Amino acid sequence: MAVGIFDSGLGGLTVLNAAQKRLPDVDFLYYGDNAHAPYGVRDAENIYQLTKAAMENMWDKGCDLVILACNTASAAALRRMQEGGLPQGKRVLGVFVPLIEALTERQWGDNSPPREVEVKHVALFATPATVASRAFQRELAFRAIGVDVEAQACGGVVDAIEDGDMILAEALVRSHVDALKRKMPHPEAAILGCTHYPLMEQTFQAALGPEVKVFSQGSLVADSLADYLQRHPGMQGNGAGGFYTTGNPGRVSDRATQFLRREITFQAA
């Protein structure tokens, strides 16, 4: 039995890694749409169609529950998929809500009305498509009032990470933080709104300063998933785990092995 984790590329491996540590007895099926990565520069309709095709492939492989570990897909496709109706017994969850629940100090699944929270000034770092969607602000508004969010589109960071050019990625992160701080000089918290960005968390923190609390998704999503599976134990699916990609399996396997510092072998989706 396997829970599905989907990303347009390799960033979702940060969520997978945290989930495997948190839930060692659960099998996971990872699906990377590397042939079409990155999603962050695509339009909403294209992202939706690509995400829908990936979900159907993962359902066919036996995943009843899929985590959209791609923030861009969560922002541009999740609500439309849910509102359009999912096949019976299938669930798709995004990665924004666990972050927002942590930011607003709510228990997992707390759907009470929005309320005042301690943090008032939040920096959001995300892909251009995620920023354009305003999905984070929409979900936050369901849970909190009086929070000022300044979003910074971090063009080029995902490409640099996927290419293994961490020097360029670090330079780009510092540039994007500088741009954000020109708009919001004193953020209290920062959201790393892309699953690639935890690899650059130290760079973000150093550029933002020690007084800014940085929220990263891996462990938060893993904890939320553990809570969900405890409440819905039948959602672990009936398929086998593994790693699948729409890209070149050999190249993606090499990148993934560098990414997680352990051997990962992908096969064609």
Q: Judge whether 72 is annotated as a binding position.
A: yes
**DSSP-derived 3-state class of residue 6:** strand
Provide the 8-state DSSP code for 235.
Answer: G
CB crowding 117-148: b at 16 or more within 10 Å, else e: bebebbbbbbbbbbbbbebbeebbeebbeebe
Which residue among 19, 70, 122, 151 is the active-site one? 70
Q: Where are the alpha helices (DSSP H) in 128-200?
A: 128-133, 135-141, 157-162, 166-183
Amino acid sitting at position 90: K
Which residue among 58, 97, 160, 194 is the active-site one? 194
Residue 231: count other Cβ atoms within 10 Å of its Cβ. Answer: 10
Tokens of 235: 């959602």
Q: Is 194 a catalytic residue?
A: yes
**CA gap 102, 220 in Å, rounded:** 8
Q: Judge whether 40 is annotated as a binding position.
A: yes
Residue whose pair of structure tokens reads 């050999």 in the numeric block: 250
Q: Which residues does residue 115 pair with via DSSP β-bridges, in sequence order? A: 144
Q: Judge whether 71 is annotated as a binding position.
A: yes
Residue 18 in contact with residue 231, Cβ under 8 Å?
no
Q: Judge whether 196 is annotated as a binding position.
A: yes
Which residues are identified as catalytic? Answer: 70, 194
Provide the annotated binding site. 7-8, 39-40, 71-72, 195-196
Residues tagged in the binding site annotation for substrate: 7-8, 39-40, 71-72, 195-196
